[in-house]
Chain A
Amino acid sequence: MTTAIDIRSVVKTFGEFTALHGVSLDIADNAFFTLLGPSGCGKTTLLRLIAGFEAVTAGEIRLFGEDIARLEPNRRPVNTVFQHYALFPHMSVIDNVAFGLKMQGLDLSGRRARAGKMLEMVHLSAFADRLPSQLSGGQQQRVALARALAPAPKVLLLDEPLSALDLKLRQAMRVELKQLQEDTGITFIFVTHDQEEALTMSDRIAVMSAGQVQQIGTAQEIYEAPSNRFVADFIGETNLLEVDVHQVHEGRATLTLPGGHRLSCPSALVAPGRHSLSIRPERVTISDSAELSAADLSATVERVVYLGSDLQVLTRLADDTAFTIRLQNAARTEVPSPGAQIGLHLEEGAARLLAD
Chain B
Amino acid sequence: MAGGDDSWRPLAPRLLIPTWVVIGLFSLLPVILMAVYSFLTKEFRGGVIWDFTLAAYDQFFIDRGLFGDEPARLEWTYINIFGRSLLQAAICTALCLVVGFPTAWFIATRPARTRAVWLFLITIPYWVNLLIRTVSLKFLIRDNGPLNEALMSIGLTSGPLPLVNTNLAVQLGLFYSYLPFMVLPIYAAVERYNFALSEAAADLYASRWTTLREIVLPVVKPGIIAGCILVFVPALGAFLAPDLLGGAKTFMIGSLIEEQFKGSQGNWPFGAAVSMILLTLVLIALIFYARTAAREGAR
A binding-site residues for B, Cβ under 8 Å: 51-53, 72-75, 78-80, 82, 84, 86-90, 99-100, 103-104, 147-148, 151
Find the A residue at minimum CB distance from B205: A103
**B219 and A99 contact, CB distance less than 8 A:** no
A336 to B78, CA, bound (A): 98
Task: Chain B residues near A88: list those with CB within 8 A.
Answer: 197, 200-201, 215, 219
Q: Which of A53, A86, A90, A100 contacts B205 (CB 8 A)?
A: A100
**A80 and B205 contact, CB distance less than 8 A:** no
Q: Does B292 contact A (CB under 8 A)?
A: no
A89 to B194, CA, bound (A): 10
Find the B residue at minimum CB distance from A77: B205
Find the B residue at minimum CB distance from A90: B218
Chain B interface main SS type: helix
Q: Which of A73, A87, A103, A151 contacts B210 (CB 8 A)?
A: A103
Task: Chain B residues near A147: list those with CB within 8 A.
Answer: 204
Contact with A along B201-233 (1 / 0, CB 8 A): 111111100100011001101000000000000
**A53 and B199 contact, CB distance less than 8 A:** yes
Q: Does B196 contact A (CB under 8 A)?
A: yes
A89 to B216, CA, bound (A): 11
A80 to B202, CA, bound (A): 10
Task: Chain B residues near A90: list those with CB within 8 A.
Answer: 218-219, 221
Task: Chain A residues near B214: list those with CB within 8 A.
Answer: 99
**B204 and A151 contact, CB distance less than 8 A:** yes
A87 to B194, CA, bound (A): 10
A84 to chain B, nearest CB (A): 7
**A79 and B203 contact, CB distance less than 8 A:** yes
**A80 and B203 contact, CB distance less than 8 A:** yes
Task: Chain A residues near B199: list those with CB within 8 A.
Answer: 51, 53, 73, 80, 82, 86
A258 to chain B, nearest CB (A): 49
Find the B residue at minimum CB distance from A84: B196
A72 to B203, CA, bound (A): 9
**A74 and B215 contact, CB distance less than 8 A:** no
A53 to B207, CA, bound (A): 13
**A74 and B205 contact, CB distance less than 8 A:** yes
- A103-B196 contact given A88-B215, A89-B219, A90-B218, CB 8 Å threshold: no
**B196 and A74 contact, CB distance less than 8 A:** no
A88 to B219, CA, bound (A): 8
**A74 and B203 contact, CB distance less than 8 A:** yes
**A99 and B201 contact, CB distance less than 8 A:** yes
**B200 and A82 contact, CB distance less than 8 A:** yes
Find the A residue at minimum CB distance from B210: A103
Taking A86-B194, A103-B205 as given, write out 19 further A-B residue pairs in contact, using a Cβ cutoff of 8 Å, ordered by the A residue number.
Answer: A51-B199, A51-B203, A53-B202, A53-B203, A74-B204, A74-B206, A80-B200, A80-B203, A82-B196, A82-B199, A84-B196, A86-B200, A88-B200, A88-B201, A90-B221, A99-B204, A99-B206, A103-B206, A148-B203
A161 to B174, CA, bound (A): 49
Q: Which of B201, B205, B207, B219 contacts A151 (CB 8 A)?
A: B205
A91 to chain B, nearest CB (A): 8
